[in-house]
Amino acid sequence: MENRLNENDRVLFRIIYLLRRLTDRWASVNLSRVAAQDFNVTFLPYFMNIGDEGVSNHDLVKTIKVTKQGVSKTVKELENLGLVYTEKSDTDARSIMIYLTETGRTLFNVIKEHSDDLHNEYRKLVGTKNFELMVDTLVKIIDFHERIEKEVL
């Protein structure tokens, strides 16, 4: 029975699920210290992918793999919080550009700093080489799954 438990502990789906839950909890605790109460941890992938340069709604859909409706809804919520604003794209009439407000840029930088601190803690825990290898490996696994989806579609 002991060996079986160890095997299950190493199942990738379990590991990813637990890591996601624990990092979401970490983010929620840290966000509560720096962001408005209405800022939800589920906004992070959207918010952090807008970045300094802004992003089109179409690129945001592609980047974080969500529906256009999901992007629209979350962007509206971020607008209501005063963290982003939108403009029609100069190059594509069907697209809108999403930009961080000054308040949004400030929050972005604070969240990025907290994220960098967490990465540094991970580096201390597992070593820089192992941490970078893990990130590179996860990126390759994501690329693999993206290729599979393209083949199916």
Backbone phi, then psi, for 34, in 5-degree steps? -125, -15
Q: Mean pLDDT for the chain?
A: 91
Residue 56 makes CB contacts below 8 A (sequence gap 6+) with: 89, 92, 95, 96, 97, 98
Per CATH, the architecture of 2-152 is what?
Answer: Orthogonal Bundle (1.10)
What integer is the mean pLDDT of 96-112?
A: 95
CA angle 87/91/92 to nearest 5° reads 75
Distance of CA 69 to the CA centre of its chain: 18
Query: Which pTM value belongs to this model?
Result: 0.84
Which tokens is 31 given?
Answer: 């966000």
Q: Residue 127 — left, alpha, or beta (φ > 0 → left; ψ -120 to 50 → alpha)?
A: left
User: CB–CB of 46/4 below 8 Å?
Assistant: no
Of 4 and 72, the one with more pLDDT: 72
Quote the pLDDT of residue 1.
46
pLDDT tens by residue, 138-151: 999 999 999 998 88
Span 78-102, mean pLDDT?
A: 92
Taking alpha carbons only, the member of 114, 39, 41, 122 closest to residue 81 is 39
